């Protein structure tokens, strides 16, 4: 019998595993992942799927023992963000600029390849004594004393099962936990591009009436774009040639980085919001995208999920040290209360950005658009937002402080 079985070895599940297996009073932890990634060969081109990690996530990854594998030449710190609405020019004074130097920090965070992040966390989990089962969840059997986890290769028993199996979570469904979903009617197009002007270790983001375009600076001088466009617009962008796409990108970016050229394939992700009504049930806890999916415009999905992993690990480790059952609803509810309020706050803010800045029309939208330049002219307010972006506000788990 394991203390904990984690279903899903994406970045969030792997992080929960590494923190639990590495806790002061180490727990026995198994993790199911049907497709664990291979390490990236040295010198391989940068992968198109990347994420922006906050300072809080960096600290968590240090605590989880994964940072040494990540902090190499492929890691790309970014020092500034430039955020503007299409109604103003990319070089104008109305552009909102967040600069790490304004709060005495060396950077605002890092751009990391998804695959490197996931691989490093699974390595850290295995090194801490965790057991990785290359298998999928088939069904759950929840009893009063334990959970039987039926997998594609057999059965594991545990006192707690953690659903870290992404937006389509089989754990969520198996435990009878319901979720509210709504489509944004947008598709995110992800690709790597070279640009005529250097990215200056800056993340660039432009809000437009039909979507949001972000350039995330990569270590090799290229940028990873995340273009969240209304579905019909995205379909056209994906259907055209690479040259046509670059021309549309130059129009959409207002040439903020000069002319661009595609250096990878385009991949696309339909965008849907998801919010589980409950994150926990007896002997079951949901973390990461299994519990909540937010719009990628603020680059917060993994950052929120890593904080879920750390908060749950902290509650569970404390319960076990106190001789309590880690699957008891009392323990899990404390995790839910903590994280759900933080996630609801963040997802409401992100949806407001999408509604008023990316798509807005009318007085409220104009107010929000002007708000960018007002914030830019108010140094104290700007610092508040920078600290939010660094993930250093709110109630942080010990491993992220």
Ligand X SMILES: Cc1cc2nc3c(=O)[nH]c(=O)nc-3n(C[C@H](O)[C@H](O)[C@H](O)COP(=O)(O)OP(=O)(O)OC[C@H]3O[C@@H](n4cnc5c(N)ncnc54)[C@H](O)[C@@H]3O)c2cc1C
Footprint of ligand X on this chain (CB under 6 A)?
Answer: 7-13, 32-35, 51-52, 136-137, 164-166, 170, 188, 190, 226, 269, 288-289, 296, 299-303, 305
Task: Name the residue nearer to ligand X (CB basis): 309 or 316.
Answer: 309
Task: Name the residue nearer to ligand X (CB basis): 27 or 164.
Answer: 164
Q: How far apart are CA 164 and CA 151, in angstroms?
A: 15
To the nearest whole angstrom, how small is the minimum distance from the Cβ of residue 361 to ligand X?
Answer: 25
To the nearest whole angstrom, how small is the minimum distance from the Cβ of residue 389 to ligand X?
Answer: 11
DSSP string, 51-102: EEEPHHHHHHHHHTT-HHHHSSTT-EEE-EEEEEETTS-TTSTTSEEEEGGG
Determine phi and psi for 113, rounding to 5 degrees.
Answer: -70, 135
Task: Name the residue nearer to ligand X (CB basis): 12 or 18.
Answer: 12
To the nearest whole angstrom, how small is the minimum distance from the Cβ of residue 233 to ligand X?
Answer: 16
Which strand (E) or helix (H) includes residue 16? helix 11-21
Structure tokens at 124: 């850290």
Determine phi and psi for 238, rounding to 5 degrees.
Answer: -80, -30
Which strand (E) or helix (H) includes residue 237? helix 231-239
To the nearest whole angstrom, how small is the minimum distance from the Cβ of residue 318 to ligand X?
Answer: 23
Sole residue written with tokens 């090194």: 127
To the nearest whole angstrom, how small is the minimum distance from the Cβ of residue 47 to ligand X?
Answer: 12
Distance of CA 201 to the CA centre of its chain: 20
To the nearest whole angstrom, how small is the minimum distance from the Cβ of residue 375 to ligand X?
Answer: 21
Task: Name the residue nearer to ligand X (CB basis): 8 or 211.
Answer: 8
Determine phi and psi for 395, rounding to 5 degrees.
Answer: -90, 110
- Whether the CB-CB separation of 383 and 103 falls below 8 Å is answered with yes
Task: Name the residue nearer to ligand X (CB basis): 184 or 320.
Answer: 184
Burial 357-380 (b: 16+ CB within 10 A, else e): bbbbeeeebeebbeebbebbeeee
To the nearest whole angstrom, how small is the minimum distance from the Cβ of residue 151 to ligand X?
Answer: 7
Task: Name the residue nearer to ligand X (CB basis): 320 or 354.
Answer: 354
Task: Name the residue nearer to ligand X (CB basis): 8 or 327.
Answer: 8
- Whether the CB-CB separation of 15 and 61 falls below 8 Å is answered with yes
């Amino acid at each position: 019998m394991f203390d904990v079985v984690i279903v899903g070895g994406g970045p969030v599940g792997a992080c929960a595993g590494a923190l639990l297996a590495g806790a002061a009073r180490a727990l026995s932890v198994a993790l199911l992942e049907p497709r664990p990634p291979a390490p990236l060969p040295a010198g391989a081109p940068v992968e198109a799927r990347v994420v922006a990690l906050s300072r809080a996530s960096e600290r968590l990854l240090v605590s989880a023992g994964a940072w040494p594998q990540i902090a190499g030449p492929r890691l790309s710190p970014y020092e500034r963000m430039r955020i503007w609405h299409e109604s103003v020019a990319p070089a104008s004074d109305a552009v909102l600029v967040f600069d790490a130097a304004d709060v005495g920090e060396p950077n605002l965070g890092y751009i990391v390849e998804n695959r490197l992040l996931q691989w490093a966390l699974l390595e850290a989990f295995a090194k801490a004594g965790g057991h990785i089962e290359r298998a999928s969840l088939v069904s759950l059997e929840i009893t009063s004393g334990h959970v039987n986890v039926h997998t594609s290769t057999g059965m594991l028993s545990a006192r707690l099962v953690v659903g870290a199996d992404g937006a389509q979570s089989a754990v969520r469904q198996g435990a009878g936990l319901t979720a509210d979903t709504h489509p944004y009617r947008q598709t995110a197009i992800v690709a790597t591009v070279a640009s005529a002007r250097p990215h200056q270790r800056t993340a660039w983001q432009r809000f437009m009436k039909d979507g949001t375009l972000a350039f995330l600076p990569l270590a090799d001088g290229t940028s990873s774009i995340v273009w969240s466009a209304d579905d019909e617009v995205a379909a056209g962008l994906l259907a055209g040639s690479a040259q046509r796409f670059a021309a549309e990108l130059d129009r959409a970016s207002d040439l903020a980085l000069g002319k661009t050229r595609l250096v990878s394939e385009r991949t696309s992700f339909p965008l849907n919001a998801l919010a589980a009504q409950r994150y926990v049930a007896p002997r079951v806890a949901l973390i990461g995208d299994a519990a909540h999916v937010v719009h990628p415009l603020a680059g917060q999905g993994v950052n929120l999920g890593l904080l879920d992993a750390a908060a749950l690990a902290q509650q569970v480790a404390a319960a076990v040290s106190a001789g309590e059952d880690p699957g008891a609803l009392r323990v899990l509810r404390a995790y839910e209360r903590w994280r759900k309020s933080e996630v609801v706050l963040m997802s409401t803010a992100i949806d407001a950005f999408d509604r008023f800045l990316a798509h807005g029309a009318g007085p409220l939208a104009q107010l929000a658009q002007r708000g960018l330049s007002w914030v830019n002219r108010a140094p104290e307010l700007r610092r508040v937002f920078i600290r939010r972006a660094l993930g250093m506000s709110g109630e942080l788990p010990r491993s992220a402080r």
